[in-house]
A and B are shown apart, each in its own frame.
Chain A
Amino acid sequence: MGLFSKKNKEALNTPLFKENPVTVQVLGICSALAVTSKLEPAIVMGLSVTIIVAMANVIISLIRNTIPMRIRIIVQLVVVAALVTLVSEVLKAFAYDVSVQLSVYIGLIITNCILMGRLEAFAMANKPWPSFLDGIGNGIGYAMILVVVALFREFFGSGALLGIQIIPQSVYDAGYLNNGLMLMTPAAFILIACIVWFQRAKDKSLQE
């Protein structure tokens, strides 16, 4: 079986669109609402989740045959918790500002349903390489939605992207105002709903 056989490609591709963890499976919504008011934390959060899902998938997949079925959830949790702690420490060391902005949400990746879902549904039954691809796919599928939502929220809410002012002062002088609603959590709900709406309108097979 080649590294990028059809099955492996599927493991990477389906979570991006057809089985997107946020818009189709509706997992990880809490963090998608909480960290998307600015683009930078959203990107960092997306990356962290991608790395953690991929690594956890690989580790669980490697030891999947030795895990006793009865305590598998605990084993998975220990692995995820260790990885989350690692990522959190790295962030504190190298990107302190962002880690302050993300506050508890990095720690709460442990409880992110995407992780446990992928470990249970995929890594427990597949070899390390497909599990790695599946983890990357799901992580990026999640990060993608976060980034799109954060893009809209920061642009319309603060007139900036990545903290750099995009909308010039002259527009504000002409009477333009930043949309305060975009900085509140409901805006993330509405935006995610719009993405779901758009996706289902495009892909008939997702319509219920």
Chain B
Amino acid sequence: MKFLRNYIDKIKPNFEEGGKLHAFRSLFDGFETFLFVPNDTAKSGVNIHDAIDSKRIMSLVVIALMPAMLVGMYNIGLQNAIAAGTVETTTWFSMFLYGLLVMLPKIAVSYIVGLGIEFTVAQWKNEEIHEGFLVSGILIPMIVPVGCPLWILALATAFAVIFAKEVFGGTGMNIVNVALIARAFIFFAYPSVISGDTVWVATESICGLGATVDGYTCATALQHVANGVAPVGAAGAELGVCDMLFGFMPGSIGETSVVAIALGAILLLWTGVASWKTMLSVFVGGVVMLFVFGDKLPESIPFWHHLLLGGFCFGAVFMATDPVTSARTEVGKYIYGFGIGAMTILIRVLNPGYPEGMMLAILLMNVTAPFIDYCVVQSNVNARAKRLTKKN
């Protein structure tokens, strides 16, 4: 690490006021604080600050996302092999490599577009780079179907970064989850690339890996359920609980594997980055709503499969717990999480047009979160005022 520090110190004067690379100071500053903990803390006010930059917390979330991403890559290859009927002859490593090749351009596009806009804005407004896109940039490619074209991904990313984040004042000021706005943009602007039965399985061969399959269709499990049939996998075989747990089924890239998401959840909870209250109450909300519906639920799957299918787990672990857009009060977190879980099941069961409800539920609760906080704070103020008057 020493040589890196020395190198950064050596090139630093170039980026300071009057240096020849001054125009790129935000870029330099961004990478310096990404690599090293900054030396300075807040100098004024009564705050207790430590020098941990929020980029370091963000990188923890990115690490927590890795299991889901790796399984997602393997699953891309697996689904492609199933579609082509070559599961027996394809090694798991070439499946993974194929998934990696499919996935890399999406990640690159998301980061280049998003960070490009962030760097430009930071430079323009003479501010430090906002680091929030580190997480959003990896979330966006993970919550879209594998068949989503790159130009649409780029457009959605740009839209989300500008209209969901920068206009509100940048990282930490956004009201709604940036990655979900990107998905919602695709969902409403280009519904054909994010629903239906042609986009969930990769069908193009890349660099000799994978197989090209023409005219192949397979819907997601939840779409099957919405159509009133039992969910089937890519080969037409019925999906077992095992497939749902490990994520070997068609779906958005990162959302399918419950086990991989659980690994990420453990890391997030252990390091204290995400709130267990939000996470738990999402599941409680979902279960309560499932019992409320009771026998009105679609009968093609046992009711608890709803918690394993679609984006339920992914949303609960990585989206609902986003510290910026979730409720901030401790009681508020329970209400907020419960609302997400309940709303998701509500949308899934009552609206056949939206087989997947997690995205809309989280966005809706994002908007409600400030109100929840307001109510919690006010009720606390009232309770204390009452206590005070009683004593006197």
Interface residues of A (CB under 8 A from B): 175, 177, 179-182, 184, 186, 190, 197
Q: How far is the CA of A106 from the CA of B193 in the complex (A)?
A: 37
Chain B residues, CB < 8 A from A177: 152, 190, 192-193
Write the nearest CB–CB distance from A106 to chain B, whole angstroms: 28
Q: How far is the CA of A190 from the CA of B189 in the complex (A)?
A: 13
Interface residues of B (CB under 8 A from A): 149, 151-152, 163, 167, 185, 188-193
**Closest chain A residue to B152 by CB distance?**
A177
Q: How far is the CA of A190 from the CA of B159 in the complex (A)?
A: 11
Beyond A177-B192, A180-B189, A180-B190: 6 further Cβ-contacts under 8 Å?
A177-B152, A177-B193, A180-B191, A181-B185, A181-B188, A181-B189
Q: How far is the CA of A182 from the CA of B190 in the complex (A)?
A: 10
Q: How far is the CA of A179 from the CA of B159 in the complex (A)?
A: 13
Q: By the criterion CB–CB under 8 Å, are B188 and A184 in contact?
A: yes
**Closest chain B residue to A175 by CB distance?**
B149
Q: How many A-B residue pairs have CB under 8 A?
A: 20
Residue among B149, B188, B189 with most chain A CB within 10 A: B189
B interface: dominant SS? helix
Chain A residues, CB < 8 A from B149: 175
Write the nearest CB–CB distance from B299 to chain A, whole angstroms: 33
Chain A residues, CB < 8 A from B152: 177
Chain B residues, CB < 8 A from A182: 189
Chain A residues, CB < 8 A from B191: 180
Known: A175-B149, A177-B152, A177-B193. A190 touches B188 (CB 8 A): no
Q: How far is the CA of A190 from the CA of B162 in the complex (A)?
A: 11
Chain A residues, CB < 8 A from B163: 190
Known: A175-B149, A190-B163. A180 touches B188 (CB 8 A): yes
Chain A residues, CB < 8 A from B151: 175
Write the nearest CB–CB distance from B216 to chain A, whole angstroms: 18
Instruction: Return 10 A-B CB contacts under 8 Å, by A number.
Output: A175-B149, A175-B151, A177-B193, A179-B190, A180-B189, A180-B191, A181-B185, A181-B189, A182-B189, A186-B188
